[in-house]
Amino acid sequence: MKQLLLWLIGVALGVVVLLAAVLGVSYSFTSEGAKPASEVQFAGQELEPNGWCWQVPLLGGQVDKVFASPRTLTVQKLGVLYDAHPAFALPEWYSYGPLTITDSAGNVVFEGTAATYDDFLFPANGDYKAELTVWRLPENMLATQFEGGSTGELRQDVRLEKPAKPIGWYYYSFRFTLQASAEVELSAERMEQGGTVAAAFTGMVGETAPMVETDLGNVQAVRLGSGWRAYIPAAYNAAAGAHEVTFTVGGETVVKKITVIPKDFGTVEIEDEPEASEAANTEFRNAVWPLYEQPAREKLWSGGFACPAENYMTLVDFGQTKVTGGKQGSKSNSTKLYTIPGDPCRAPANGVVVLARNLALTGNTVVIDHGCGMRSYLYGLDALSVSEGQSVERGQAVGALGEDLTMDFKLGSKSINPWLLFQTSGGLFWKENG
């Protein structure tokens, strides 16, 4: 019995010695090359790490070996950058990146992460300093839980992932001079009556919105991603031919031409309608017309619009010339649908309800602001189920349909072809998310 006990003790000691030897060999042969490569770029230039701390797993993740280098006062100089929004290229292992950018006076102009930097615009051209820490952390681990330590120190592995991988960070400090120049790009140079053209503004600094002047309508630019976007309409009756559009961007003026192509919308026979009372017209003007000139809010729609009625027959189409008793009248800026009473009237796209009330001229009326000056006007509902100020999503019921629905889609005060919206066609969907 005594001999068996001695033998077991000897085996246990042998295992301990073997494990110690394995750990020693693993420790000796694990070098700084075991930590992830930095591989961080800014504006296409490789950033040089200025301090790091990494815990590299040993023995199948049972313990970690720490490699560390303290931060220094060295600042990498990147020179002059001409892109208004120099981009980061981050390694595949990146999980978290606190970033601070200061101007030449030491004022913080950005404090967030490399991810939230995507929507940042520099306030002006000039000199800047940036400090970035790029972390690799297991899922659900916070940076505050990281132990770290001095070079060569062994620590217990956090055991939050299998197989275990290095965790830690690289720190970067760099300076650059921003010298950007604004540019304007159009989605197209030609559009049919009823269509839209988008203008993307890049290379801009500052928070001042670009100005757009054109006889095609009142156009407002809105921040979108790291730039600005504006949408230019061609109404059903927009003059065919070339139209000058003047863009004022950061003190610079750019003039471009957009050609409007005529479109034959056809004619439609309608019955003579009684004249509306002056009181009804005045109520409508006071309630609806001010919406045409309201400041444009941020873009809220994504993807194509939905027709407000799922089951319908077209009675009067957009752009059609109305004929009454053989006499031609005006063109229609809206679309009138024959609908099934009681069916839901759907929000065409995400937006905010800016009008929901009964008007003598148009009955139960809902107006939804989709952002960037784009609004849908829905007239003649049997009942309303939303209120002003309420946010709605594409396809959400905003009321119940009656026997017919009149829908009008406007950019500012200019009506555009709704069928293009339902087909995800035209400038409203160009470079939609950036």
Q: What is the pLDDT of residues 242-269, one digit of tens each?
A: 999 999 987 788 999 999 999 999 999 9
Q: What is the pLDDT of residue 60?
A: 64
Could you tell me the two tokens for 353?
A: 């309800």
Q: Are 118 and 256 members of one domain?
A: no
Residue 234 · residue 260 · CB < 8 Å:
yes
Q: Do residue 419 and residue 280 come from a single domain?
A: yes
Does residue 22 belong to any structural domain of this protein? no
Residues 205 and 163 in one domain: no
Residues 234 and 206 in one domain: yes
Q: What is the pLDDT of residue 29?
A: 38
Q: Of the residues 178, 213, 231, which one is the last residue of a structural domain?
A: 178
Between CA 410 and CA 351 the distance in angstroms is: 14
How many Å apart are CA 138 and CA 247, to the nearest integer? 48
pLDDT given for residue 222 in this prediction: 94
Do both 216 and 277 map to the same domain? Answer: no
**Domain membership flag for residue 5:** no
- Neighbouring CB atoms inside 10 A of 74's CB total 10
Same domain, 343 and 197: no
Q: Residue 21 domain-assigned? A: no
Is 28 part of any domain? no
CA-CA distance, 229 to 184, in Å (whole number)? 10
Asked whether residue 151 falls in the same domain as residue 137, the answer is yes
pLDDT of residue 47: 97
Query: Could you identify the residue written with the tokens 């034959």?
Result: 264
Helix-, strand-, coil-residue percentages of the chain, each rounded to 5: 15, 40, 45
pLDDT at residue 401 in the model: 98
CATH number at residue 239: 2.60.40.10
DSSP state, residue 411: E
Do residues 186 and 109 share a domain? Answer: no
The CATH number that applies at residue 386 is 2.70.70.10
Q: Of 261, 279, 310, which residue constitutes the final position of a domain?
A: 261
User: Per the domain annotation, does 123 fall within a domain?
Assistant: yes
- Do 323 and 391 contact (CB within 8 A), yes or no? no
Residue 121: how many other CB atoms lie within 10 Å: 18
| 64-80 pLDDT tens trace | 888 899 999 999 999 99
Query: Which residues in the chain land under pLDDT 50?
Result: 11-12, 14-30
Give the phi and the psi of residue 226 in degrees, each rounded to 5.
Answer: -95, 20
pLDDT of residue 174: 98
At residue 329, what are phi and psi to the nearest 5 degrees? -115, -145
pLDDT the model gives residue 9: 56
For the chain, helix (H) and strand (E) counts, in that order, are 3, 33
CA 181, CA 272: separation in Å to the nearest integer? Answer: 57
Under 8 Å CB-to-CB from 193, ≥6 apart: which residues? 234, 235, 236, 237, 238, 240, 260, 261, 262, 263, 265, 319
Residue 173 and residue 84 share a domain:
yes
Smallest CA-to-CA distance from 299 within 209, 221, 197 is with 221
By the 8 A CB rule, do 231 and 375 touch? Answer: no
- Domain coverage including residue 357: 267-429
Flag whether 15 is in a domain. Answer: no
First to last CA, the chain: 79
Among 206, 234, 261, where does a domain finish?
Answer: 261
In a shared domain, residues 296 and 237:
no
Residues 205 and 273 in one domain: no
Contacts of 267 (CB under 8 A, 6+ apart): 320, 321, 322, 323, 328
Q: 275 with 423, same domain?
A: yes
Is 376 part of any domain? Answer: yes
Query: In this structure, are residues 227 and 201 in contact, taking their beta carbons and an 8 Å threshold?
Result: yes
Q: Which tokens belong to 169?
A: 């960070």
Pairing state of beta strands 267-269 and 321-324?
parallel
Rounded to whole angstroms, how far apart are CA atoms 269 and 432?
Answer: 38
On whether residue 26 sits in a domain, the answer given is no
Our count of domains for the chain comes to 3
Which helix (H) or strand (E) covers residue 4, if one does? Answer: helix 2-29
Residues 6+ apart with CB under 8 A from 229: 198, 199, 200, 201, 221, 222, 299, 372, 431
